[in-house]
Amino acid sequence: MAKQYDVLFRLLLIGDSGVGKTCLLCRFTDNEFHPSHISTIGVDFKMKTIDVDGIKVRIQIWDTAGQERYQTITKQYYRRAQGIFLVYDITSERSYQHIMKWASDVDEYAPDGVQKILIGNKADEEHKRQVGKHQGMKLAEEYGMDFYETSACTNYNIKESFTRLTELVLMAHRKELDGLRLASNDELNLAELEEDGRKADGTANSKSCWC
Amino acid sequence: MRVYNRRNLTRPPGCQRIGGSSGREVPNYRAASSLYMVHSNHHLKRDASVLRKPLQKLQSHPFRPIIPLVARISDQNASGAPSMTLREKTRLEKFRQLLSCPNTDLDELRKCSWPGIPRDVRPITWRLLSGYLPANKDRRQMTLQRKRAEYFGFIEQYYDSRNEEHHQDTYRQIHIDIPRTNPLIPLFQQPLVQEIFERILFIWAIRHPASGYVQGINDLVTPFFVVFLTEHVEDDVENFDVSTLSPETLKNIEADSFWSMSKLLDGIQDNYTFAQPGIQKNVKALEELVGRIDGQVHSHLQKYEVEYLQFAFRWMNNLLMRELPLRCTIRLWDTYQAEPEGFSHFHLYVCAAFLIKWRKEILDEVDFQGLLMLLQNLPTIHWGNEEIGLLLAEAYRLKYMFADAPNHYRR
């Protein structure tokens, strides 16, 4: 049986309620868009397998509820993520301001080497724009993140941003991947490697993984 | 299949076997379940050939009828459905008799309601069972008038404060969630209905600052709203244009929904306070319970590192409303209101029965992704009263066997 994937890892979507996290995900995994998507409760799960440089990457994507009350639950998912999308809505200044809070949560709860991308969603709603593109770029630069404006509605930059974060995670795990190319019959489960490492050295993060 | 083995069954009060089918195999929904991986619960692709294809190939099929979620909220005695059987007529008669007594015997009313309330008497029965209306018949009209006036007093007093600084977050969240409440049912997209929901939720939220408004509470208004609306609508509730009702009638529905929802939430408020302790506690209890009643399913989930919180959080937070069509929730709530501590306690057993209901499908999945996709998108779209009846009977059995025997079956 042909193996289904080479590498498996976890991505996480966070950001204020209503910025379009679920819509980004549905567009990416199912190429669908519903303008009024039912609100996410707790954490939802989807997956997709994509090809990056000849490597079959299966990504598990965790879609979180944005409301503050859920954060006790959603924070539990941070530590297992290898990549995180921080999402704001370009028509909501407030959601942009809150990126600061989301970023500090990531610092606190996610593993040190986690890869991050900043997303300004709803780019199609130009007439309602409250956050300039340069503001997004500036913030991303401050945090050392890549930045994309996206639109789940018009399917703008969706595949690009998901692929980019996937690449970043792959690059961060180059060492393991080189090993993979040598023994090409094995599947590499980054999530598990990492957890094994954690168990072995007994610390919250296994830094040896990150190059 | 220990759980489906119904010998020694303790029958819930008044619960009848349905069409002699209670021992049948659970239909295999696996093929249909893949649909749910791709779509949110409200869509269904019917093309049989599509059903069999793997997930990846399902993505762009144009034919997607929307299955009515509310139109069949009725019992079998809805207009358009086959006429009532003798048994149903007798039941309805029994309800009418109880309800018209000078003092309704609430214990008896609960007993009758447990196996489902006939549509015609459901609104008044819900008002009584929720504790909103008194058992004394003569006092009911007065109570209604007083409570309705009280609710609109709140509106007058507080609703303008929704734009003030300290309530802005609450109002904003409610405002975002209203269009996302049952987004595929036209009834809930009408401005008049959305305004009603906004008022109900805002007033409730600011009167309950310990929890405030939490996403999911919006869902909990809908069964009440729909049931009280059916008093004025013959059929096809989901497409009903509420602007054809008098403003007075709409106001009454709004106030009654508010109070009934408040009564329900009084019993489960710790689901929504900081860190949601009620939910955390219930998810743990579910895990523990399933470990005792079906070790095979439990260890299968453990083996693939599926955590109960990953699927059951929503089951608790939204009382299974996201997992079931609205008509099923309404039927479920007949029993929850008839059962002591139905929403706060019996729900746990319903969740356990619900999980075990899918044991075959669960055991067929042999990786984490497959399990989670299944558990977050269980194929219940065609469920009706019969499935809910069986689920409740099983939950009752579990409660009877395990609630007062914490060590029973403990390994």
Q: What is the DSSP string of B250-298?
A: HHHHHHHHHHHHHHHHHTTGGGTSTT-HHHHHHHHHHHHHHHHH-HHHH
Which residues of chain B does A47 touch, with a Cβ-Cβ cutoff of 8 Å?
Answer: 369, 373
Residue for token pair 């003798």: B86
DSSP string, B310-325: HHHHHHHHTTTTTTS-
Looking at residue B59, its pLDDT comes to 38
Q: At A169, is the pLDDT very low, low, confident or very high (cuts 50, 70, 90)?
A: very high
Secondary structure (3-state) at B113: helix
Structure tokens at A49: 């397998």
**CA–CA dist B357, B394 (Å, integer):** 9
Selected for mutation to probe chain A from B310, B365, B373 (highest A CB count within 10 Å) is B310
DSSP for residue A8: E
B31 touching A (Cβ < 8 Å)? no
Q: At A183, is the pLDDT very low, low, confident or very high (cuts 50, 70, 90)?
A: low
Residue ranges of A 2-31 with Cβ closer than 8 A to chain B? 17-18, 30-31
Looking at residue A189, its pLDDT comes to 72
Of B38, B218, B309, the CB nearest to A30: B38
Return the H-helix or E-strand segment holding A51.
Answer: strand A43-52
Q: Is A53 exposed, middle or buried (0-12, 13-18, 19+ CB in 10 A)?
A: exposed
Mean pLDDT in residue range B216-227: 97
Looking at residue B124, its pLDDT comes to 97
**CA–CA dist B249, B144 (Å, integer):** 13
DSSP string, A140-209: HHHHT-EEEE-BTTTTBSHHHHHHHHHHHHHHHTHHHHHHHHHTTTS-EEHHHHHHHHHHHH-SS--GGG
- Within 10 A of B328 (CB to CB), how many other CB atoms are there? 23
Highest mean pLDDT of the ranges A195-209, B37-51, B360-374: B360-374
When mean pLDDT is compared across B83-97, B186-200, B294-308, B378-392, the lowest value belongs to B83-97
Q: Are B322 and A39 a contacting pair at CB < 8 A?
A: no
A70: left (phi over 0), alpha (psi -120 to 50) or beta: alpha
Selected for mutation to probe chain A from B45, B58, B176 (highest A CB count within 10 Å) is B176
Q: If you classify domain B277-409 with CATH, what class do you get?
A: mainly alpha
**CA–CA dist B328, B397 (Å, integer):** 20
Q: At A5, is the pLDDT very low, low, confident or very high (cuts 50, 70, 90)?
A: confident
CB A112, CB A82: distance < 8 Å: no
Looking at residue A155, its pLDDT comes to 97
Q: Are B183 and A76 a contacting pair at CB < 8 A?
A: no
Phi and psi dihedrals of A12, rounded to 5?
A: -135, 140
**B316-342 per-position pLDDT tens digit:** 999 999 999 999 999 999 999 999 999
Report the residue of chain A nearest B218, measured CA to CA: A39
Secondary structure (3-state) at B78: coil
Residue ranges of B 301-320 with Cβ closer than 8 A to chain A? 309-310, 313-314, 317-318
Minimum distance, in Å, between the CA of residue B235 and any CA atom of chain A? 25
Minimum distance, in Å, between the CA of residue B337 and any CA atom of chain A? 24
Structure tokens at A120: 């300004």
Of B39, B173, B216, the CB nearest to A41: B216
Nearest to A13 by CA among A48, A56, A65, A73: A65
**CA–CA dist B243, B266 (Å, integer):** 31
Nearest to B230 by CA among B220, B218, B242: B242
Structure tokens at A146: 């890549």
Nearest to B184 by CA among B46, B69, B60: B69
**B64-73 per-position pLDDT tens digit:** 334 445 444 4
Greater confidence, B67 or A191? A191
Structure tokens at A128: 């309602």
Pairing type for strands A115-121 and A146-149 reads parallel
Q: At B224, is the pLDDT very low, low, confident or very high (cuts 50, 70, 90)?
A: very high
Looking at residue B405, its pLDDT comes to 58
**CA–CA dist B271, B169 (Å, integer):** 20
**A17-66 per-position pLDDT tens digit:** 999 999 999 999 999 998 888 999 999 999 999 998 888 999 999 999 99
Which residues of chain B does A11 touch, with a Cβ-Cβ cutoff of 8 Å?
Answer: none
Mean pLDDT in residue range B168-189: 93
Q: Are A37 and B274 a contacting pair at CB < 8 A?
A: no
Minimum distance, in Å, between the CA of residue B259 and any CA atom of chain A? 24
Q: At B31, is the pLDDT very low, low, confident or very high (cuts 50, 70, 90)?
A: very low
Residue for token pair 């409660």: B399
Which residues of chain B does A43 touch, with a Cβ-Cβ cutoff of 8 Å?
Answer: 310, 313
CB B325, CB B381: distance < 8 Å: yes
Looking at residue B358, its pLDDT comes to 98
Return the H-helix or E-strand segment holding B360.
Answer: helix B359-364
Secondary structure (3-state) at B245: coil
**CA–CA dist B36, A207 (Å, integer):** 38
- Within 10 A of A2 (CB to CB), how many other CB atoms are there? 4
For residue A84, the cross-strand partners are A12, A116
Mean pLDDT in residue range B191-215: 97
**Furthest C-alpha separation in chain B:** 62
- Residue B40: pLDDT above 90? no
Selected for mutation to probe chain A from B171, B173, B365, B374 (highest A CB count within 10 Å) is B173
Residue for token pair 């295999």: B28
- Residue B29: pLDDT above 70? no
Residue for token pair 């998108």: B377
**CA–CA dist B127, B259 (Å, integer):** 9
